[in-house]
Structures are given as structure tokens and as C-alpha cells.
Structure 1
Amino acid sequence: MKETILSLTPQHWKDYELIDTGAFEKLERFGPYILSRPEPQAIWDKSMKDEEWTEMAHAHFSKEKNNPEKGHWNELKKIPHNWHVLYKSPENLQMKLNLAMTSFKHIGLFPEQAVNWDYIADTLGKIPVKNPKVLNLFAYTGAASVAAKACGADVTHLDSVKQVVTWSKHNMESSGLDGIRWIVDDAMKFIKREVRRGNKYHGIILDPPAYGRGPDGEKWILEEQINEMLKICAELLEDKHHFLILNMYSLSFSSIIAANLVNSNFKEVNNAEHGELYLVDRFEKKLPLGIFFRFRKI
């Protein structure tokens, strides 16, 4: 089966910039504000001096000693708790996305995913169906959901955390949109019910974490459950016109593994692309930020 192997990075985002990387950190600009935070894959040296980072940054994230997944922000300059950035693509996709500094170092946005927002816009623009149905699983703060809705899709957005679903709704409203269907549920339980109901989708977006919990404590382990999830998603995808996007962030996974998972579970995989997503800093260092597999029939 013919597949295109790609390394993709956003090309045209004025409100975001990766400034420098190294020493297990990254320095980024989101709109007018610059943040430094941990990055486990930046194992090389910084190109700029520590003093330059400190001089530029509005805030720096420090990890807790006993829990590397949590920490706190040290504000070095005046910065609001909440602000927004704009995203505009050549496909005329426009979104206003709301950011905030959380105790988990995240700010509500994964910039490398812009390449998939463009893919969603391009694909939905070519599918000859009015209001195609799109399901976004593990949808986090919903940039992909907003992108699909902006392109006329009938969007179902699912995440297990109520707070990030509320954040997603704010992104939708800030972007001048409405009508996304919000679901707070365990992803596996939901898609099994959708199969029993006989529902189908023209597009499915999956962005699963390595580990996670459902709203009732359901355990998610990527290596143990992603194969079953894709098998079920194959039953939910419309036959004639469709697309699927799979993102994974586990350091032990390659895009070849993603390709094997998709090809073994879907009967028809057209126009397949897989590879790495990355960002480039000012010094031309490439920071890998996950793998993807996507295909479409339009």
C-alpha cells in the first residue's frame, strides 16, 4: 500500500514562534508573551544563554520535585492569566484560541497541530457532503473541533475532563461559532455506544495520551487499548467520503507503528500520510513533538 512519509511543521503562524530549545527546555512566543517551560526531548544545548532566556521570558515553569507532571509558573514580567492568539491559514481557516498558564505546564494549545488543522480545512472543503459529521476524541481544548466547525462540519467533541471541555466551548465562542456537541465521557465507552446506535462519521480525529483516566476513573493505556479503539473507529467511519487523523506522543512509538495499526484495522486506506510533527526554532534546530497518521477519501 502506497504511503507518503512526511515531517511536518507549521509554516505561516504569525502569533506563534519557537525561539530556542535545549537543556530540556523550550522558549516560545504566544502572541506578545514569551514562556519558557520543560521539554523532555530537547536534550541538546541551548543556542542562547540562560541570561538571555530570563531577559526575554514573561514566565518560567518550574516542576515539582516529587511530581514532574506538575509545578508552578514564576512570573518574570507582567503577564495576564488569560490571553488569546489568532490562527489564520491559507485555506481561509480563522480561529481565536484562548490560553492560560496551568499547573501542568500546558497552556491550552499544541502549536505543531496547526498542520492538522490545515488538513482538516482542506479535506472538509473537498468532501461533497453538506455538514459532514466529525468526531474528535481526546479533544482537549478543541482547536481541531473549532477548525472543523469553522469549515461547516457537524462536530462532536469528546474529552473526559469537564474543565477542558468548558475551555473548548470558550474557543468556539471566541471564534464566532456555535453548535458543537460537547461530550464528557470515556472515549472507549462512547464509541462502543455509537456503534450500537448505528452512527457514522465522515471524519474521526484521535489524539490519545500515553496514559489517562475517564470521568469515572476508567483507565487508558495507549499501548494496551489503541488497537481496539481503531478497530471500533473503523466501524464508525463513513464508506464513501471520509478522513482519519491519528496523533500519538508516546516516546516508544514510531509512525510505522501507527501505520501498522491503521492499515490492519481499516479496510480502505487512501492517500495515506505518516511521519513526525515538529517545530523549528530560530537556530534551525528541529524539535520533534509526536507522530501522526492520516488518510482520506474525498
Structure 2
Amino acid sequence: MELKTLIGEPWADYGLIDSGNGRKLERYGRYRFIRPEPQAMWAPATDDWKADAEFVPGSDEDGGGRWYYDQPVPADGWPLRWQEVTFQSSCTPFRHLGFFPDMAPVWDWMRERTADKAEAEVMNLFGYTGVGTLAMSASGARMVHVDASKKSVAQARANADLSGMADKPIRWIVEDAAKFVAREVRRGRRYDGILLDPPKYGRGPDGEVWRLEEDLPALIANCRQLLDADSRFLFLTVYAVRMSALAIGELLRQAFADLPGTVEVGELAVREEARGLLLPTAIWARWRR
């Protein structure tokens, strides 16, 4: 399979300013942040980085670390905008800032796939703070937003309020994603599209354990049962560096072998403003009609 690259371009409220030496400098609205980035193995455009805060990782390769602030940053976050969607960004304990900007080209692509389908039924699994859910809702889709974190779903609903979308047809589900999908299969439900952005490891609200390499094939198989020949897409992103785009592409190719359509694979990347180079962030595979 040919590898494709989906490129996140800078926009008014977000940009990758510079990168290198294992770090990246980004702007989120009026604030600038430095975060670790193992993929940035090159030298930065300049060593003169000025930021409001920096996340310094701990010694544990599986996580840890903390934010160090040079300037005051609102503890409860600040609003950002992507097209019609307004949402809250904030410095989380997990080095993220409340959304994943490299997903912007994915949101655009999903909207294109359902542009001619009135009230398309779309599910966002591992939906986090809901920016992708709201991007699809703004384009007219009926959404099901699923995340095991009550806090994340609460933030997603708050973002819907910020965007003036509180009355949109969105089902907010706090549940283990694999459990929910299996139940939807038993109910005989179908969807026009599914977005999956699973973590490498996670726990559900009732202590369910999610391990990407072990649990992804069964989840994909169940998602296939929710799609049919009239469905438009399934999009899977993976941030685990030990996996290959070709591997997850073959997983989808086999699962969707009985449906018409195309399986494609590739990488997500963000374009750096300083030099225009591409910083890879994740791998992806998708099925589309």
C-alpha cells in the first residue's frame, strides 16, 4: 500500500513555530509552549525560543513530568477556534493542551466524505474533548461521542456550549469504547462513519483495561459490523510508535474485504512555520467508499 501524508497547516489559533533537538515550540492562541517531541531529531531553526511555559518530562519513559511557567497562563484554560468550533485549551498533566491540532486535516476529510449525506450518523470513539465531534456536528452530522473519561466528556459538552452547539443532535456517552461498540452491534445499529483515536493504554469507568496491540483487532471487527455498503468511512489514528501504518492498514484491509471501497494508510504531520518542514505525529489507516 502506498503511504500518504495528511498535513496539518497552521491557522489563526494554532501553529508549530519551530522544532528540533527533541522539542517543539507551538502557539495556542496568544500563548506559546515548549513540549518534548522525540520525532524532532533535527536542529531547530533558531535557539532563541521564548515561551510562556514548558513541559519537562519525567524520567519514566511511559509518562510523568510537569509544566514550568515563565509567564502566567490561565489555569482554567482559554478559548481557541477552528472554523465553526470554539473550544477550551489548557495545560493538562499529560503534556497535551486539550486537543490534537494534527487532527485538523482528518476533520476536513470526514466532512468531505459526508458532505452529500443529510444527517449522516457518525460515531467518535475515544472522543476526548470533542473538537472532532463538534467539527462533524457543525457540518450537519448526527453524532455519538464516546469516551471512558467523565471529565473529558464534561469538557466536550462545555465546548459544545462555547460553540453554540448545545442543542445539536449529539449523544454524549461515558463508557468503555469496546463495550459500547459491542452493544451497538448487538442492537443492530449502523453508522455512516466512525472515527477511532485510541490510546496505547487506558482504563474504562468500571476498571476495564485497554491495551492497543491486544484489543484493537476485536474493536475493528466490531466497528466493521456497524458499517455497510452505504457507509462512507472509518478513520483510525495510532500514536504508538512501535506500530506500523502498513500493519494497521492490513488489519483494515482484511476486516473490510467484503465491502466495496478503498483502504489507505499513511502518517499525520504538522507543517512547521519556520521552515515549512513536516513534523510526523501519528500513523493512520482508513476505509472509504
Tell me which of 266, 270, 295 is aligned to 2:287.
295
**1:269–1:295 Cα contact (<8 Å) kept:** no
Q: 1:103: which partner in 2?
A: 93
Matched letter for residue 149 of structure 1:
S
Q: 2:5: which partner in 1?
A: 7
Matched letter for residue 276 of structure 2:
E
**1:25–1:38 Cα contact (<8 Å) kept:** yes
Partner Cα distance (1:256, 1:195) in 2: 27
Q: 1:185: which partner in 2?
A: 175
Q: 1:198: which partner in 2?
A: 188
Partner Cα distance (2:250, 2:198) in 1: 17
Question: TM-score, normalised to structure 2's length?
Answer: 0.93
Label 1:106 to 1:11 Cα distance change in 2 as closer, same or farther (>3 A).
closer
Q: What is the SS of the residue equivalent to 2:178?
A: helix
Partner Cα distance (2:4, 2:27) in 1: 26
Q: 1:216: which partner in 2?
A: 206
Matched letter for residue 87 of structure 1:
W
- In the alignment, does 2:56 pair up with 1:84? no
Partner Cα distance (2:275, 2:71) in 1: 25
Matched letter for residue 117 of structure 1:
W
**1:15–1:85 Cα contact (<8 Å) kept:** yes
Q: What is the SS of the residue equivalent to 2:80?
A: strand
Matched letter for residue 83 of structure 1:
W
Q: 1:148: which partner in 2?
A: 136
Structure 2 unmatched runs, 5+: none
Give how far 1:269 is off.
4.9
Tell me which of 36, 42, 45 is aligned to 2:43.
45
Question: TM-score, normalised to structure 1's length?
Answer: 0.90
Greater mean deviation of Cα atoms: 60-69 or 137-146: 60-69
- In the alignment, does 2:163 pair up with 1:175? yes
Matched letter for residue 81 of structure 2:
L
Aligned-residue sequence identity (percent) comes to: 38
- In the alignment, does 2:120 pair up with 1:132? yes
Q: What is the SS of the residue equivalent to 2:251?
A: helix
Partner Cα distance (1:10, 1:38) in 2: 19
Partner Cα distance (1:26, 1:131) in 2: 39
Matched letter for residue 176 of structure 1:
G
Tell me which of 53, 70, 87 is aligned to 1:59.
53
Give how far 1:58 is off.
0.9
Give how far 1:4 is off.
5.7
Q: 1:69: which partner in 2?
A: 63
Matched letter for residue 246 of structure 1:
L
Structure 1 unmatched runs, 5+: 89-93
Partner Cα distance (1:133, 1:69) in 2: 36
